[in-house]
Amino acid sequence: MEAATAPEVAAGSKLKVKEASPADAEGPQASPGQGAGSPTPQLLPPIEEHPKIWLPRALRQTYIRKVGDTVNLLIPFQGKPKPQATWTHNGCALDTSRVSVRNGERDSILFIREAQRADSGRYQLRVQLGGLEATATIDILVIERPGPPQSIKLVDVWGFNATLEWTPPQDTGNTALLGYTVQKADTKSGLWFTVLEHYHRTSCIVSNLIIGNSYAFRVFAENQCGLSETAPITTDLAHIQKAATVYKTKGFAQRDFSEAPKFTQPLANCSTVTGYNTQLFCCVRASPRPKIIWLKNKMDIQGNPKYRALTHLGICSLEIRKPGPFDGGIYTCKAVNPLGEASVDCRVDVKVPN
Protein backbone atom coordinates (compact mmCIF):
# COMPACT_ATOMS: atom_id res chain seq x y z
CA MET A 1 0.00 0.00 0.00
CA GLU A 2 1.32 3.44 -0.87
CA ALA A 3 1.91 6.00 1.87
CA ALA A 4 -1.39 7.63 2.65
CA THR A 5 -1.44 11.41 1.91
CA ALA A 6 -5.10 12.31 1.29
CA PRO A 7 -6.28 14.84 3.87
CA GLU A 8 -9.51 13.35 5.23
CA VAL A 9 -11.02 13.84 8.68
CA ALA A 10 -10.70 10.64 10.73
CA ALA A 11 -13.72 9.30 12.49
CA GLY A 12 -11.46 8.09 15.31
CA SER A 13 -9.57 11.35 15.73
CA LYS A 14 -10.41 12.84 19.11
CA LEU A 15 -9.84 16.29 20.52
CA LYS A 16 -9.28 16.62 24.28
CA VAL A 17 -9.11 19.81 26.34
CA LYS A 18 -7.37 19.85 29.70
CA GLU A 19 -9.33 21.57 32.46
CA ALA A 20 -7.89 24.95 33.54
CA SER A 21 -8.08 26.27 37.10
CA PRO A 22 -9.51 29.79 37.84
CA ALA A 23 -6.02 30.91 38.68
CA ASP A 24 -4.92 29.94 35.16
CA ALA A 25 -7.72 32.04 33.72
CA GLU A 26 -6.66 35.16 35.66
CA GLY A 27 -3.13 34.82 34.36
CA PRO A 28 0.14 34.90 36.29
CA GLN A 29 0.17 37.06 39.47
CA ALA A 30 3.13 38.54 41.26
CA SER A 31 4.00 37.08 44.61
CA PRO A 32 3.92 39.43 47.61
CA GLY A 33 7.65 39.34 47.77
CA GLN A 34 8.06 40.56 44.23
CA GLY A 35 8.71 44.19 43.84
CA ALA A 36 8.00 46.47 41.01
CA GLY A 37 11.36 45.78 39.53
CA SER A 38 10.95 41.94 39.49
CA PRO A 39 10.95 40.21 36.04
CA THR A 40 7.51 39.43 34.53
CA PRO A 41 6.81 35.65 33.78
CA GLN A 42 6.89 34.75 30.03
CA LEU A 43 3.41 34.01 28.57
CA LEU A 44 2.72 31.16 26.10
CA PRO A 45 1.81 32.20 22.53
CA PRO A 46 -1.93 32.13 21.85
CA ILE A 47 -3.43 29.04 20.08
CA GLU A 48 -4.44 30.14 16.60
CA GLU A 49 -5.56 26.69 15.31
CA HIS A 50 -6.77 23.75 17.39
CA PRO A 51 -4.95 20.42 16.88
CA LYS A 52 -6.69 17.94 14.57
CA ILE A 53 -5.54 14.76 12.78
CA TRP A 54 -6.57 14.03 9.20
CA LEU A 55 -6.51 10.21 9.08
CA PRO A 56 -6.53 8.86 5.48
CA ARG A 57 -9.49 6.67 4.58
CA ALA A 58 -7.28 3.64 3.80
CA LEU A 59 -6.04 3.61 7.42
CA ARG A 60 -9.48 3.56 9.02
CA GLN A 61 -9.48 -0.23 8.66
CA THR A 62 -6.76 -2.73 9.46
CA TYR A 63 -3.60 -1.96 7.46
CA ILE A 64 -2.22 -5.32 6.23
CA ARG A 65 1.36 -5.86 5.08
CA LYS A 66 3.46 -8.94 4.39
CA VAL A 67 6.58 -9.86 6.33
CA GLY A 68 9.54 -8.02 4.79
CA ASP A 69 7.42 -5.22 3.28
CA THR A 70 8.04 -1.56 4.03
CA VAL A 71 5.57 0.35 6.20
CA ASN A 72 5.52 4.06 5.37
CA LEU A 73 2.57 5.98 6.84
CA LEU A 74 2.17 9.74 6.37
CA ILE A 75 -0.49 11.23 8.68
CA PRO A 76 -1.43 14.91 8.08
CA PHE A 77 -2.51 17.04 11.04
CA GLN A 78 -3.16 20.68 11.85
CA GLY A 79 -2.40 22.99 14.73
CA LYS A 80 -0.84 26.40 15.18
CA PRO A 81 1.65 26.99 16.61
CA LYS A 82 3.30 23.66 15.75
CA PRO A 83 1.92 20.93 18.03
CA GLN A 84 3.87 18.11 19.61
CA ALA A 85 3.29 14.68 17.91
CA THR A 86 4.05 11.40 19.70
CA TRP A 87 3.48 7.72 18.72
CA THR A 88 2.81 4.67 20.87
CA HIS A 89 2.60 0.95 20.04
CA ASN A 90 0.03 -1.03 22.05
CA GLY A 91 0.17 1.72 24.66
CA CYS A 92 3.97 1.62 24.98
CA ALA A 93 6.77 3.69 23.52
CA LEU A 94 8.04 2.73 20.08
CA ASP A 95 11.08 0.48 19.59
CA THR A 96 13.38 3.02 17.95
CA SER A 97 15.67 0.23 16.70
CA ARG A 98 12.91 -0.90 14.36
CA VAL A 99 10.54 2.03 13.96
CA SER A 100 11.49 5.58 13.01
CA VAL A 101 9.30 8.69 13.19
CA ARG A 102 9.69 12.07 11.49
CA ASN A 103 7.48 14.93 12.61
CA GLY A 104 7.00 17.89 10.31
CA GLU A 105 5.07 21.14 10.53
CA ARG A 106 1.86 19.60 9.13
CA ASP A 107 2.38 15.82 9.19
CA SER A 108 4.01 12.88 10.92
CA ILE A 109 5.64 9.87 9.20
CA LEU A 110 5.89 6.38 10.71
CA PHE A 111 8.48 4.22 8.90
CA ILE A 112 9.42 0.52 9.26
CA ARG A 113 11.99 -0.69 6.75
CA GLU A 114 11.27 -4.44 6.96
CA ALA A 115 8.07 -5.32 8.78
CA GLN A 116 7.97 -8.35 11.07
CA ARG A 117 5.03 -10.04 12.73
CA ALA A 118 6.05 -8.46 16.04
CA ASP A 119 5.28 -5.06 14.47
CA SER A 120 1.58 -5.92 14.35
CA GLY A 121 -0.68 -4.13 16.80
CA ARG A 122 -2.37 -0.81 17.55
CA TYR A 123 -0.45 2.37 16.88
CA GLN A 124 -1.70 5.66 18.30
CA LEU A 125 -0.71 9.16 17.20
CA ARG A 126 -1.24 11.93 19.77
CA VAL A 127 -0.98 15.60 18.73
CA GLN A 128 -0.77 18.01 21.71
CA LEU A 129 -0.92 21.78 21.77
CA GLY A 130 -1.10 23.44 25.13
CA GLY A 131 -3.99 21.94 27.03
CA LEU A 132 -5.54 20.52 23.83
CA GLU A 133 -4.79 17.19 22.13
CA ALA A 134 -6.08 15.02 19.25
CA THR A 135 -5.55 11.26 18.86
CA ALA A 136 -5.86 8.77 16.00
CA THR A 137 -5.53 4.97 16.12
CA ILE A 138 -4.15 2.74 13.34
CA ASP A 139 -4.27 -1.08 13.42
CA ILE A 140 -1.39 -2.76 11.55
CA LEU A 141 -1.32 -6.49 10.77
CA VAL A 142 1.86 -8.09 9.40
CA ILE A 143 1.22 -11.53 7.87
CA GLU A 144 3.17 -14.30 6.12
CA ARG A 145 2.53 -17.69 4.53
CA PRO A 146 1.01 -20.32 6.83
CA GLY A 147 2.80 -23.40 7.99
CA PRO A 148 1.92 -26.79 6.46
CA PRO A 149 -0.84 -29.00 7.89
CA GLN A 150 0.59 -31.08 10.71
CA SER A 151 -0.24 -34.49 9.21
CA ILE A 152 -2.24 -36.22 6.49
CA LYS A 153 -3.64 -39.75 6.56
CA LEU A 154 -5.16 -42.04 3.94
CA VAL A 155 -8.29 -43.33 5.68
CA ASP A 156 -9.95 -45.58 3.10
CA VAL A 157 -9.85 -46.65 -0.55
CA TRP A 158 -12.84 -48.09 -2.37
CA GLY A 159 -13.75 -48.31 -6.03
CA PHE A 160 -12.35 -45.23 -7.77
CA ASN A 161 -12.27 -43.13 -4.55
CA ALA A 162 -9.96 -42.36 -1.63
CA THR A 163 -10.72 -40.68 1.71
CA LEU A 164 -8.18 -38.30 3.31
CA GLU A 165 -7.92 -36.61 6.71
CA TRP A 166 -5.44 -34.00 8.00
CA THR A 167 -4.92 -31.63 10.94
CA PRO A 168 -4.73 -27.79 10.65
CA PRO A 169 -1.32 -26.09 10.75
CA GLN A 170 0.08 -24.81 14.03
CA ASP A 171 1.04 -21.47 12.44
CA THR A 172 -1.63 -19.76 10.29
CA GLY A 173 0.67 -16.88 9.30
CA ASN A 174 -0.90 -14.35 11.73
CA THR A 175 -4.18 -14.32 9.76
CA ALA A 176 -7.17 -16.53 9.05
CA LEU A 177 -6.82 -19.46 6.66
CA LEU A 178 -8.63 -19.24 3.32
CA GLY A 179 -8.72 -23.02 2.93
CA TYR A 180 -6.68 -25.98 1.74
CA THR A 181 -5.41 -27.20 -1.64
CA VAL A 182 -5.40 -30.98 -2.20
CA GLN A 183 -3.19 -32.56 -4.87
CA LYS A 184 -2.68 -36.10 -6.18
CA ALA A 185 0.17 -37.83 -8.04
CA ASP A 186 0.26 -41.31 -9.58
CA THR A 187 3.44 -43.33 -9.18
CA LYS A 188 3.83 -43.82 -12.94
CA SER A 189 4.26 -40.15 -13.90
CA GLY A 190 5.09 -38.59 -10.52
CA LEU A 191 3.34 -35.36 -11.56
CA TRP A 192 1.14 -33.49 -9.08
CA PHE A 193 -2.35 -32.37 -10.09
CA THR A 194 -4.73 -30.20 -8.06
CA VAL A 195 -8.06 -31.85 -7.26
CA LEU A 196 -9.48 -29.37 -4.68
CA GLU A 197 -8.86 -25.63 -4.08
CA HIS A 198 -10.03 -23.29 -1.29
CA TYR A 199 -11.38 -26.33 0.55
CA HIS A 200 -12.41 -25.50 4.12
CA ARG A 201 -12.79 -28.91 5.79
CA THR A 202 -10.02 -31.15 7.14
CA SER A 203 -11.23 -34.29 5.35
CA CYS A 204 -12.23 -35.00 1.78
CA ILE A 205 -13.01 -37.70 -0.78
CA VAL A 206 -10.94 -37.76 -3.98
CA SER A 207 -12.88 -39.39 -6.83
CA ASN A 208 -12.35 -40.40 -10.48
CA LEU A 209 -9.10 -42.27 -9.81
CA ILE A 210 -7.89 -44.57 -12.60
CA ILE A 211 -7.92 -48.36 -12.27
CA GLY A 212 -4.45 -49.89 -12.07
CA ASN A 213 -2.72 -46.74 -10.74
CA SER A 214 -1.33 -46.04 -7.27
CA TYR A 215 -1.70 -42.51 -5.86
CA ALA A 216 -0.04 -40.31 -3.25
CA PHE A 217 -1.71 -37.17 -1.87
CA ARG A 218 -0.56 -33.91 -0.26
CA VAL A 219 -2.32 -30.88 1.27
CA PHE A 220 -1.26 -27.19 1.34
CA ALA A 221 -2.67 -24.57 3.72
CA GLU A 222 -3.57 -21.18 2.20
CA ASN A 223 -4.05 -17.61 3.48
CA GLN A 224 -3.85 -14.11 1.97
CA CYS A 225 -0.11 -14.54 1.31
CA GLY A 226 -0.58 -17.78 -0.65
CA LEU A 227 0.08 -21.48 -0.12
CA SER A 228 2.31 -22.93 2.56
CA GLU A 229 5.86 -23.56 1.35
CA THR A 230 5.70 -27.29 2.10
CA ALA A 231 2.97 -29.92 2.33
CA PRO A 232 2.77 -33.28 4.10
CA ILE A 233 2.46 -36.35 1.85
CA THR A 234 0.55 -39.52 2.65
CA THR A 235 2.81 -42.36 3.77
CA ASP A 236 0.47 -45.01 2.32
CA LEU A 237 -0.39 -45.24 -1.37
CA ALA A 238 -3.93 -45.62 -2.65
CA HIS A 239 -3.95 -48.68 -4.95
CA ILE A 240 -6.92 -48.62 -7.31
CA GLN A 241 -7.48 -52.29 -8.13
CA LYS A 242 -9.80 -53.80 -10.67
CA ALA A 243 -12.58 -55.65 -8.92
CA ALA A 244 -13.27 -59.21 -10.05
CA THR A 245 -16.43 -59.18 -12.12
CA VAL A 246 -18.75 -62.14 -11.81
CA TYR A 247 -21.31 -62.52 -14.53
CA LYS A 248 -24.47 -64.31 -13.52
CA THR A 249 -26.63 -65.61 -16.30
CA LYS A 250 -30.33 -65.48 -15.68
CA GLY A 251 -32.18 -68.63 -16.40
CA PHE A 252 -34.97 -68.44 -18.95
CA ALA A 253 -37.40 -70.87 -20.53
CA GLN A 254 -36.53 -71.99 -24.02
CA ARG A 255 -39.23 -70.80 -26.35
CA ASP A 256 -40.60 -73.31 -28.83
CA PHE A 257 -40.91 -71.73 -32.27
CA SER A 258 -42.26 -74.86 -33.93
CA GLU A 259 -45.49 -74.40 -35.85
CA ALA A 260 -47.44 -76.03 -38.64
CA PRO A 261 -47.29 -74.50 -42.13
CA LYS A 262 -49.42 -71.44 -42.67
CA PHE A 263 -49.66 -69.38 -45.83
CA THR A 264 -49.41 -65.67 -45.15
CA GLN A 265 -49.83 -64.69 -48.80
CA PRO A 266 -52.05 -66.90 -51.06
CA LEU A 267 -51.73 -67.54 -54.78
CA ALA A 268 -53.55 -65.12 -57.06
CA ASN A 269 -55.54 -66.05 -60.17
CA CYS A 270 -53.92 -64.89 -63.37
CA SER A 271 -54.30 -64.88 -67.18
CA THR A 272 -51.45 -65.15 -69.60
CA VAL A 273 -50.83 -65.38 -73.34
CA THR A 274 -49.47 -68.36 -75.14
CA GLY A 275 -45.67 -68.28 -75.42
CA TYR A 276 -44.99 -65.78 -72.57
CA ASN A 277 -43.45 -67.06 -69.33
CA THR A 278 -45.69 -66.73 -66.25
CA GLN A 279 -44.81 -66.79 -62.53
CA LEU A 280 -46.95 -67.66 -59.51
CA PHE A 281 -46.03 -66.42 -55.98
CA CYS A 282 -47.12 -67.19 -52.41
CA CYS A 283 -45.65 -66.92 -48.89
CA VAL A 284 -45.59 -69.58 -46.18
CA ARG A 285 -44.47 -69.64 -42.53
CA ALA A 286 -43.54 -72.84 -40.73
CA SER A 287 -40.98 -74.37 -38.37
CA PRO A 288 -39.24 -76.63 -39.02
CA ARG A 289 -38.78 -75.71 -42.66
CA PRO A 290 -41.58 -77.26 -44.74
CA LYS A 291 -41.39 -79.25 -47.94
CA ILE A 292 -43.04 -77.44 -50.89
CA ILE A 293 -45.02 -79.44 -53.43
CA TRP A 294 -46.58 -77.95 -56.58
CA LEU A 295 -49.65 -79.55 -58.17
CA LYS A 296 -51.58 -78.93 -61.39
CA ASN A 297 -55.11 -80.15 -61.39
CA LYS A 298 -54.08 -82.19 -58.31
CA MET A 299 -51.24 -83.82 -60.23
CA ASP A 300 -47.65 -83.51 -58.96
CA ILE A 301 -45.54 -81.53 -61.40
CA GLN A 302 -42.25 -81.83 -59.50
CA GLY A 303 -39.41 -82.69 -61.91
CA ASN A 304 -41.28 -81.49 -65.01
CA PRO A 305 -38.81 -79.36 -67.03
CA LYS A 306 -41.64 -77.05 -68.11
CA TYR A 307 -41.90 -75.77 -64.57
CA ARG A 308 -39.27 -74.15 -62.36
CA ALA A 309 -40.04 -74.06 -58.61
CA LEU A 310 -38.01 -71.94 -56.12
CA THR A 311 -38.29 -71.33 -52.36
CA HIS A 312 -36.35 -68.66 -50.47
CA LEU A 313 -37.07 -67.28 -46.98
CA GLY A 314 -40.63 -68.51 -47.08
CA ILE A 315 -41.37 -67.09 -50.55
CA CYS A 316 -42.48 -69.81 -52.99
CA SER A 317 -42.50 -69.20 -56.74
CA LEU A 318 -43.42 -71.32 -59.76
CA GLU A 319 -42.38 -70.30 -63.28
CA ILE A 320 -44.41 -71.70 -66.23
CA ARG A 321 -42.14 -71.61 -69.24
CA LYS A 322 -43.84 -70.59 -72.51
CA PRO A 323 -47.28 -71.92 -71.58
CA GLY A 324 -49.54 -73.42 -74.19
CA PRO A 325 -53.35 -73.80 -74.30
CA PHE A 326 -53.12 -77.03 -72.32
CA ASP A 327 -51.13 -75.43 -69.44
CA GLY A 328 -54.17 -73.67 -68.02
CA GLY A 329 -55.93 -75.10 -64.94
CA ILE A 330 -55.87 -75.14 -61.14
CA TYR A 331 -52.39 -74.83 -59.62
CA THR A 332 -51.83 -75.79 -55.98
CA CYS A 333 -48.91 -75.06 -53.63
CA LYS A 334 -48.72 -77.43 -50.67
CA ALA A 335 -46.42 -77.02 -47.64
CA VAL A 336 -45.76 -80.05 -45.40
CA ASN A 337 -43.76 -80.44 -42.15
CA PRO A 338 -44.00 -82.81 -39.14
CA LEU A 339 -46.60 -80.56 -37.47
CA GLY A 340 -49.04 -80.47 -40.38
CA GLU A 341 -49.68 -79.21 -43.87
CA ALA A 342 -51.41 -76.36 -45.71
CA SER A 343 -52.17 -75.51 -49.33
CA VAL A 344 -53.40 -72.68 -51.53
CA ASP A 345 -54.90 -72.75 -55.06
CA CYS A 346 -55.23 -70.42 -58.01
CA ARG A 347 -56.58 -70.57 -61.58
CA VAL A 348 -54.37 -69.90 -64.56
CA ASP A 349 -55.98 -69.10 -67.91
CA VAL A 350 -53.88 -69.32 -71.09
CA LYS A 351 -55.24 -67.32 -74.02
CA VAL A 352 -54.37 -67.72 -77.66
CA PRO A 353 -53.74 -64.37 -79.35
CA ASN A 354 -55.99 -63.56 -82.30
Q: In this predicted model, what pLDDT tens digit does every residue of 56-112 receive, in sequence order?
A: 998 999 999 999 999 999 999 998 888 999 999 999 999 999 999 999 999 999 999
Q: Are 25 and 75 in contact (CB under 8 A)?
A: no
Q: Are 186 and 210 in contact (CB under 8 A)?
A: yes
Q: Are 187 and 213 in contact (CB under 8 A)?
A: yes
Q: How confident is the model at residue 303 (pLDDT cuts 50, 70, 90)?
A: confident
The neighbour count for residue 54, using CB atoms within 10 Å, is 20
The CATH number assigned to the domain with range 49-143 reads 2.60.40.10
CATH class entry, domain 150-240: mainly beta
Query: Closest Cα partner for 234 from 172, 186, 179?
Result: 186
- Cα distances from 85 to residues 80, 88, 239, 336, in angstroms, run 13, 10, 68, 124
Q: How confident is the model at residue 311 (pLDDT cuts 50, 70, 90)?
A: very high
- Kind and range of the H or E element at 129? strand 121-129
Given 3.30.470.20, 3.30.365.10, 2.60.40.10, 1.10.3720.10, which CATH number is that of 259-351?
2.60.40.10
Greater confidence, 334 or 39? Answer: 334
The neighbour count for residue 141, using CB atoms within 10 Å, is 16
Every domain range in the chain assigned CATH 2.60.40.10: 49-143, 150-240, 259-351
Instruction: Number of helices (H) and strands (E) in the chain: give both, helices first.
Output: 1, 27
Cα–Cα distance measured from residue 113 to residue 134, given in angstroms and rounded to the nearest whole number: 27
The mean pLDDT of 211-227, rounded to a whole number, is 94
Strands 226-227 and 84-89: unpaired
The mean pLDDT of 130-137, rounded to a whole number, is 90
Q: What is the mean pLDDT of the chain?
A: 86
